Amino acid sequence: MMIISGKEISVKIKDQLKEEVLKIKDEYQRLPKLAVILVGDNQASQVYVRNKERGCAYIGIESLKITHDASFSEAELLKEIEQLNQDDTVDGILVQLPLPKHINEDKVLEAIDPSKDVDGFHPQNVAKLFLGQKSLVPCTPKGMMVLLDEINYDLTGKEVVVVGRSNIVGKPVALLCLQKNATVTIAHSRTKNLKEVCKRADVLIAAVGRPKMINSEYVKEGAVVLDVGINRDENNKLCGDVDFEDVKDLVHAITPVPGGIGPMTITMLLQNTLEAFYQHQQ
Ligand code: NDP
């Protein structure tokens, strides 16, 4: 059994990005810059934003953290995004989700210049992903594909089952696997016989948000299991959607939680920011 250490792989990639940033500095006399907007005081969001800032500092790019209290209006936020769209020194714009209830998330995501949309959530980038055109790809799904590459896993002809159909994880990762010639099933809360469906998978991707839901009854022997979930178990300990202990002797490879998909997500955000930077030089 192989534990796919997203933590180690992400450090390796970040070190490569760091080298790249040094070259960028030499060649363009300017550093890539990521703007992160945080509205409200969601604790988890604050941790995510802090980690994103740390990631930027690690590879040596600039980050601009903009915070507002929960009463910040939608109109003010849209105006701010427009200013960042116009600002040539800003390459990437990320609005941390979730936003307070009075702000329409779709409207906000659509306001971001697609060429600066480092989360890959703008409808234009979503459409490009759907069409298989080059685009800024959502970070968590992109990170999963990099992990499969890192273990030299060829998806051609493989059965992939994705549990979860969210716009940020389930749907985009299913499209990316399809692009790599896998046979893809997307399962969700209304799927019948979920255990049987999951047991078909050569690659099982769990993006559900339910602690340890996927146990050995869902997993085929020799499968690769990618666990996206970030949950708390009954002892308030961080855990995934997969019952790691229960499936570990069954699988060919598995990502742990923490230290699996999570660190890759931030690393892909940094990579997307460099991609956006290059796009702005053209
Ligand atoms: P959502 O809540 O948006 O989607 C969850 C999906 O799981 C839905 O499609 C839902 O189905 C499905 N689902 C819920 N219950 C069941 C069930 N009993 N059986 C089958 N399917 C079910 O979650 P996200 O995609 O945003 O996130 C999923 C998990 O991944 C969360 O734990 C989140 O914290 C984590 N996450 C981790 C990231 C990382 O960097 N590691 C990044 C993003 C998310 P339906 O559509 O029918 O309701």
Residue-wise pLDDT tens digits, 7-52: 999 999 999 999 999 999 999 999 999 999 999 999 999 999 999 9
Query: Which residues are within 8 A (CB) of 194 and not within 5 positions of it... i.e. 6 or more apart?
Result: 163, 187, 218
Query: Residues of 258-271 as b/e, b for ≥16 C-beta within 10 angstroms?
Result: ebbbbbbbbbbbbb
pTM as predicted: 0.97
pLDDT at 238: 95
Residue 259 DSSP code:
S
Report the pLDDT averaged over residues 256-276.
97
Q: Are 214 and 163 in contact (CB under 8 A)?
A: yes
Is residue 282 very low, low, confident or very high in pLDDT (cuts 50, 70, 90)? confident
What's the DSSP call for residue 90?
-
The residues pairing with 2 across neighbouring beta strands, listed in sequence order, are 253
Taking Cα atoms as reference points, which of 184, 190, 240, 193 lies closest to residue 215? 240
- Ligand 1 atom at minimum distance from 261 CA: 41
Q: Is residue 92 scored above 90 in pLDDT?
A: yes
pLDDT tier at 110 (50, 70, 90 boundaries)?
Answer: very high
Catalytic residue, candidates 91, 113, 117, 119: 119
Concerning whether 29 is annotated as a catalytic residue, the answer is no
- Report residue 253's pLDDT band, with 50, 70 and 90 as the boundaries: very high
Angle, helix 261-281 to helix 6-28, in steps of 10 degrees:
20
Give residue 214's pLDDT: 98
Mean of the per-residue pLDDT values of the chain: 97
Q: Is 231 in the pocket of ligand 1 (CB under 6 A)?
A: yes
DSSP summary character for residue 30: S
